[in-house]
Amino acid sequence: MTQETNLTEAEVSAIVRSFEERWDLFSKLVDGVCLWQLIRFEVSLRKQRGGLVRAPLSRKRMITGAFIGVLQYLLPSRHYHYLCKTYDSAHRGMQGDQSVDIYFDALCDEIDGGAKMSSYDAAGFEDTVAMAKRRPVFDDTSLIVLSAVLGRYFPYKKTDPVFDLLANALALEFGYNDYTVGRLARQYNVFRWRSYLYGLVLKKIMPVVVLAPDSGQFALMDACRNRKVGFVELQHGVFTAVHPNVLPKELPSQASVIKPSILAAYGNFTREVLLGTALEADGRIEAVGAPFIERARMLRESAFQPSEEVKVTITTQGVATEQLCQFVTVFLQNANLPMKIYIKLHPAYDVEEELYVRYLGSEPRVEIISGKSARSTHELIALSDLHLSISSASHYDALGIGTPTGIIPFETYQSVSAILQHEGAFLVDDPERFAAIVSRRDWPVVPLETKNHFFASGFVGNMKRVLQQRAEGNEATK
């Protein structure tokens, strides 16, 4: 049942690596900036599957965020020891009648001196942001909007040989004629303005360290580097040596690339799959765990009880949507036992919710949960017998929580296939065979060793150590 309609992430990585070596792109700088690094992710994603379609954003929310951010910047502000860069979509946990930022609220509750800045990244979270337990001190949607305007109408640079070279290379090698000189110049200028504006915010708030769960925050990383502020990247999702934002260690000596001071990784599994990368070679990886996994572990240990009704949580990513629906349909036709299947949609990339409803909406054993729902994905996984997905970061999460996870081998599944070497993960390549496994309750278990290998324990203590190291060295991103 394996589907390979598109190139795998590893295949794209090899193609892109060969391309950038032939054109020596990492040594092609525009006033010290490696433009190729800024677009490497989007080019790679396009090469793999044409890019993912995001749900449309609200213009009203963008404009509101821009005004709020400007006002917050103009008002007096206190200084903070560390600043957490988060997003509207992160406010999807609930604590009573308040929404919780799944990345940073636990950290800010335990370690004094922290504050958050948040930007609008996905539609549908306006109400949960308004209910936030810990409100951001700055809405950096304003910087995103303002830098886009300034980059277009007040450019640092209109022409440069690198713009011409990169446009020519992308057109000749990949046929991407839409990467025009003008477009590349605009991307460079937006980056420069965004870095400058983030620098002004850092000057006002004066953090020693900035934290962000995003490997593509290049403008913020650059601003930190320029202001001698440490930048700690918290791992978010599947992050391996073939991820487009992971750089190889073999770079030209004249290359000037942007890297985090530290990658705060989930666990030693991430360290292993990043062997041979610039991050690993520079000693920039620390295994710290994740707060949402620790909460889910405790929930599973205290509240999960196997019952006659088998519970399965399926997490989606906006890929192979129709194939996944067909898979679940055939599985249910062959699984004659009490069962509940929760299909939790991706908060940003599942723009075809009606497709799931059309295929599975009338099936009483299936509950389709919107990506914007306050129901926690990690709680669903913790209270389920099994987890399934195609190539989701939730595979990692499930193993860390202690819930067996199955990989459905549709497009992109190879990006997580390395977890199949570990107990608790298994391949689900046939819906009828999977129905037989579930009927016999013959799925694997997740041993403690696997849980701790994927997610280190003691997140808060580990982060205290990382923050202290950054404060003592006041190490800027190099």
**422 and 476 inside one domain:** no
Distance CA 226, CA 478 (A): 9
Our measurement of the distance from residue 465's CA atom to the centroid of its chain's CA atoms, rounded to an integer in Å, reads 23
- How many other CB atoms are there within 10 angstroms of residue 283's CB atom? 8
Q: Nearest-CA neighbor of 101 among 449, 396, 434, 374?
A: 374
Residue 315 lies in a domain: yes
Please indicate, yes or no, if residue 420 is contained in any of the structural domains.
yes
Looking at the domain assignment, is residue 414 inside a domain?
Answer: yes
Q: For residue 174, tell me if it sits in a domain.
A: yes
Residues 188 and 186: their CA atoms lie apart, in Å, by: 5
247 and 394, same domain (yes or no): no
Residue 268 shares a structural domain with residue 311: no
Q: Do 38 and 150 fall within a single domain?
A: yes
> CA gyration radius for the chain?
22
Same domain, 322 and 435: yes
- Are 452 and 294 within 8 A, CB to CB? no
Write down the pLDDT at residue 374.
75
Domain membership of residue 118 (yes or no) is: no
Domain region containing 26: 6-77+137-204
User: In whole angstroms, what is the distance from residue 413 CA to residue 319 CA?
Assistant: 10
> What's the rounded Cα separation, in Å, for the pair 134 and 115?
9
Give dist(CA 249, CA 296) in Å, integer. Answer: 35
For residue 279, give the 3-state DSSP assignment.
helix
- Give the torsion sign (CA, 447, 449, 455, 460): positive
> Is there a single domain that holds both residue 331 and residue 442?
yes
In Å, what is the CA distance from 365 to each residue of 121, 274, 342, 443?
32, 40, 9, 20
**Rounded to an integer, what distance in angstroms lies between the CA atom of residue 69 and that of residue 71?**
5
- Give the pLDDT of residue 451: 97
* Euclidean distance between CA atoms 314 and 381, whole angstroms: 9
- Looking at the fold, whether 381 and 437 belong to one and the same domain comes out as yes
Q: Say if residue 474 is in the same domain as residue 442.
A: no
* Residue 219, pLDDT score: 98
By the 8 A CB rule, do 430 and 449 touch?
A: no
Is 217 inside any structural domain? yes
Pairwise CA distance, residues 419 & 426, whole Å: 8
**In order along the chain (478 residues), what is the average pLDDT of each group of 10 residues?**
62 95 96 97 86 68 90 92 94 84 92 94 81 92 96 97 98 97 98 98 97 96 96 92 92 84 96 94 95 95 96 91 94 94 85 83 92 86 97 94 96 86 96 96 96 96 90 55
16 and 30, same domain (yes or no):
yes
> What is residue 1's predicted lDDT score, i.e. its pLDDT?
40
Same domain? 38 vs 170: yes
* Amino acid identity at 144: I
pLDDT digits (tens, 9 = 90+) for 88-109: 888 887 888 888 898 999 899 9
- Tokens standing for 332? 């249910």
Of 447, 453, 443, which Cα lies nearest the Cα of 266? Answer: 453
Per-residue model confidence (pLDDT) at position 475:
47
Give how many domains the chain has, as a whole number. Answer: 3
pLDDT tens string 122-179: 877 778 888 888 999 999 999 999 999 999 999 999 999 999 999 999 999 999 999 9
402, 295 Cβ separation under 8 angstroms = no
Task: Pull the structure tokens for residue 73.
Answer: 């910047």
- The answer to whether position 264 is within a domain reads yes
Pair (173, 261) in one structural domain: no
Indicate whether 211 and 172 sit together in one domain: no
> Tell me: the pLDDT tens digits for 431-444?
999 999 999 999 99
Closest alpha carbon to 87 in 198, 211, 203, 192 = 211
φ, ψ of residue 233 to 5 degrees: the values are -90, 120
